[in-house]
Each structure stands twice: as structure tokens, then as C-alpha cells.
Structure 1
Amino acid sequence: MELARRIHSGVAGGRLIPLSPSSRAAKVLGSDLDRRAHTLHSWLRQRGRAADGKTVGKDFRLRPGEVVLIDEAGMAGTLLLDRILADAAAAGAVVRLLGDPHQLAAVEAGGALRLISRAAGAIELEQLHRFRVPGEADASLILRDGDETRAVFDWYRARGRIVAGTYGSMCDQVFNAWAKDVNKGLTSLMTAADTATVTALNLRAQARHIDAGTIDTSQAAALLRAGQRAYVGDVIVTRLNRRRMTVRGGRDFLKNGDTWTVTKILPGGGVVARHTRHRGRIRLPADYLAAQCELGYASTIHRAQGMTVDTSHALASARSPRSP
């Protein structure tokens, strides 16, 4: 994000337009740059409206010399990037891509940032600022690049970061570590690569909360995706953006990957929920819950991108990618 700020401060006479692949990432980017950011999809949709002669806000106008900054570009679909590049070139604007080519790939067809990095070269940061434990920054780079992985796994194992075993025993380890952190009052998240494991961990976490009395099962439950149910006190995650469903007086909207605590079950199966970060409240209708909400104690690795928690515990296998 520091590089994004430098790009921002280096824009001379032109406007900076920040974009990101997801609404949640765009929200963070906009907050850090103190300006409104958009998703790639919403930007292209409004640019298409402008090309058709329809009225759009000034945010979606593009003039010569302006800079379109695409954050988390490694997770952006290649076709989306191509459309934005073509649109910017036609308007006389420039595009800057910011991200890590080794991070999680795009859900759509991707790989453009990695190709650019390999074929044309790219400017890279020379120092990491994210880690406090001595040696961890270097270890993370070795793991990222895939070199000398045996040695780096020894580093993580020696510090209790990695435990190996059968699938069942590792599910137990992840769950027990999560429960221990929750008992300390921490916000914690379990992650896994497949939805079946995520669902199993979510149901197990819900059962633990029920046993502990931190979830109220005296009222009827709200129906979620895949037959899951939510009670008052449950944490749920939303999976689909709904810009017209606003919160905090219109300052935020319902986003894919947001987590909420259920505070009330409404007649008809809807709920009132409180955002786990900014505490804003929203009403979620029954049809949205059933189609686009799940329990939020565990998550796939892609959906976990951008979530902020105190601790996380990941279940990895031989098929798991190096980059989280």
C-alpha cells in the first residue's frame, strides 16, 4: 500500500483512479488513499454506459494524462485488464498495475501480471514491512519464490507454525487452535482449500458456540446456503455485492466477503446483522441469506483475502499453493 501512496503522490496534474478486483479490497484501497475506489467490473460497466452516451458520475470519466491504478493486479482477470488497458489508451490515460505475481491467481482466466513480470520485467519493493519476528520476512520470500522450500519449512516447523498429520487429525488441530484463540477473546479464522472442509469446520464451530451458550438457539434459525442455519450470535459471511443494500447511512454497502454477527431473526426468515468491523447494522432478507450467505468461522483461502482477524489457522495439503 505504501507503493500505491507513492504513485498517488507522484501523479502530476492528473487524477488517480484506484481500482481493485473485489469490493472489499477497493474499500481498503480507497480508505488508504483517501479517495473513492471502484472494482474492475463496476468501472468497466460505467465506462460502457458513458461510451453509449449515458450519463455517469464524474468518477467514471477518463481524460488524457490520468492514471488508472489497479491494486491486487495478480488477482485480476486477464480479459478485464485488457479491456481497461484498451479503454485507457483510447482516452490518453495510463494504467499502473500493483500487486504480487506470486499471490493467489484470478478466479477468472488470469496470469497477466506474472507474464508481464517474467517477459518485460517490473519494479519490485526491496524491503518487507509486514513482519515483526526476526527472519520471517526472508522465510516468506523463500516460500513465495519456491526456492529451498525444505529449509524454509524447517524454519516454520521449528517455531511451531506447521504441524503435519492425517486429514482428520489436521482438521482437529486447526479447530482446536481456533477454539483456543476464541477462548482468549481473539477474532480468529480457519481456512481451507475446499468448500467441503470449510463447511465441516463451520458446522463444528457453530456446535461449539451452541454448547458454550454463546449462540441463542431458543429462536427459529435463518436458512443459509447449502442447508446451513444461523442463530442469534452466529457469525455469517456474505458472498455477493449488493450496492443498493447500504449500511452506516450509505457510507458502506453489502459486499462479498464481509462478516456479520446475527443480532435478530426476523419473521419470514430474514435477519438483522451487525458488521464485525465497523459495527454497522443491516437487514438481510431471507432470499439473500439462502442464496448468498454462509457461516463465517471458516473460509476458503480466496474468500479470506482482505479479511482482518487477530489469528488464522490454515489447513494445507500437497495441492495447496505456496502463496496465501
Structure 2
Amino acid sequence: MASDKQIFRLSGALHLTAIDWKNSYHRTSVAASLVQATYILERDRQEQRQGPQALAPGWWEFFHFQLYRVLVDDTDSSITGAIYEFKYPSYSSSYLELKPPRYVIAFRGTILKESSLSSDLKSNLQFTGNILHKSPRFQIAMQAIQEVISLSGAANIWLAGHSLGAAIALLAGKNMAKVGCPIETYLFNPPFISAPVDKIKNEKVKHGLRIASSLITAGITAAVSSNDQKQQREYSFQVLSTWIPYLFLNPLDHICSEYLGYFEHREKMAELGVGEIGRVATQHSIGSLFSTALGKDIEPTHLLPSAFLTMNMNCGQDFKECHGIHQWWTQDFQWQSKLHQFS
């Protein structure tokens, strides 16, 4: 049985009757709604809802999109992503001036249902092990992105994802930015691989742990990385620094909240006069350094040079609410935004 959150007329952004494509809240709401559409495409498949019974179409048709293609995991036939194509309304010429995206490629996160759970958990483990780039799910995503770029150009495309889907969108966005094709990207509650230092209430203890972690990371980097590896990682971060994805976090969501400390700590290290240590630490994780020591130069999937970070200050009460995609189009969304740019 479908929940209210799957039905657009009950839980969708009905208040956005006219989209201002220059308005950041409107753009965010559309991106989040299309990610939700991708979740519901898979729910429709699992529950065999077809034709008039399908619930997913309302989530894209309201914003004048149509389903262009679904991305399917070959192992279990689950829908992991979708490509939506914008169709200009015949009654409005203003859309031509405001330039909405021609295509939005959206990726869902984990669904706790038996028919897709195994492949979802496998992809989560691959992300944790920094080998998401080797997964068939990610390779299918990259192939689709490259095909759409060949059709429309990178400037006319958005990437969007939630949770595991945000990790896929992030890695794909990084790959394209490195080859000179930056794509506008919306990352909702992306996972951050780290101990939950941000949950520590004592600010002095928290900052002390972060400083110690940075010193350890910088020390291990010096010990296990060759000069060529250090220069390559620095160059990679510099290349990526001009790509600025939109990063959406809830401070009470332990899956993504560590991004807050990640960016804030880098600034504090610069203020303390040890910015170079902060620069080195922000490019590496302990896990990736152990891989380097074993002869595998693996770039951490989750680390970002730059981002336009938005926090939902109307934090919610439980984990599902704090981690959910629905918070990003609600009318009581109270955000606080800041640009973090690596230089």
C-alpha cells in the first residue's frame, strides 16, 4: 500500500505553481522532487503499479518534465536512476529566457525492500570502501551521463541524488569536472565516511580531535605518499575547486553532518596559521592512505574541494525526517547557506 509521501498531490511541492528558474529554492525543490520521482519509479516497479495506478509520473509532470529513460541495475532489475527531459509549455515563452535544464539525471538512495536491498547494500559497501567507481551501478550512470552530454552539452544538464544516490552524483560530477565538463549538481544528504566527531557537544574536545586528526592525516600522507602522488592529488583538488556542487545537509543527520565539520575545520586551520596542514588533510582520508601504503592510490569518493553548502535549520525530530528527501521542498524549509571554496 502506498504511503502519503509517495503521492504527489498529498506530499509534493504543490505550492510551486509557477517555477522561477532563477530562484534557488525553486531549483532545489525541482531537483529534490525528481529524485523522489526516481524512488517512486522503483516503488512502482516493486509493487507492480502500472498505467493509471503508477504514482511516479505526478512528480515530474507537475514541473513539465517527461521520463526520458530509466537506469536499471542488471543484478536485480531495480531502477536506480532516471533521466528526465524538460518539455517547454506551449503557453509560455518565458521558459526560453530562464533556461531550465534540458535534462535532469537523478539517482535514488537505499530502499529497504527485499527486492532491491541486496544490491543497494552492496553499493553502500563499495562506497565505504572507496570502490564505488568500480560498481556496475556507477558505470551505468557514467555511460548515461556521457550520452546525455553528447546530446545536449554539459551546461544543459543537472545531476541530482539523495544519500547513496548523492554519492553516485558526486563521483560522476567529479569525474566530469576533471575532464572540463562541469555539471550543475544537487547533492541531498550525501554520506560522509568518518567518525561522528560533529556529535560531540564539547566544542574544545571536538576541535581538539579534528586538529589531532589533521596532524595524523598529514603525517601519514608524508610517510606513505610519493612526491608525485602528493602533487597529483593537489592538482586534482585544484582542478575540481572551480566545480561547486550544491550540498544539502541536516545537522542532525549523522550520515551527512560531518561535512559541516569538514569544511569548517579547514577554515579554522587556516585561521590558526596551519592552513597547509589543513590543505593536506582535506584531500585525504585515513582509509585512502592505508590503500596508498598497500600500493593502491585511491581517491576518497566523498571528499570535496568546494561546495555551496545549505543546512536545513528546521532540523526535525527523528532520523527518517532528518535524512529524508522530503525536507528539501517543504514550505517551512529554513536554510542557512555558505560557499566553501578551495584555494
Decide which structure has greater strand share.
Answer: 1
TM-score of the two chains, using structure 2 as the length reference: 0.25
TM-score of the two chains, using structure 1 as the length reference: 0.26
Decide which structure has greater helix share.
Answer: 2
Query: Which structure is larger by alpha-carbon Rg, 1 or 2?
Result: 1
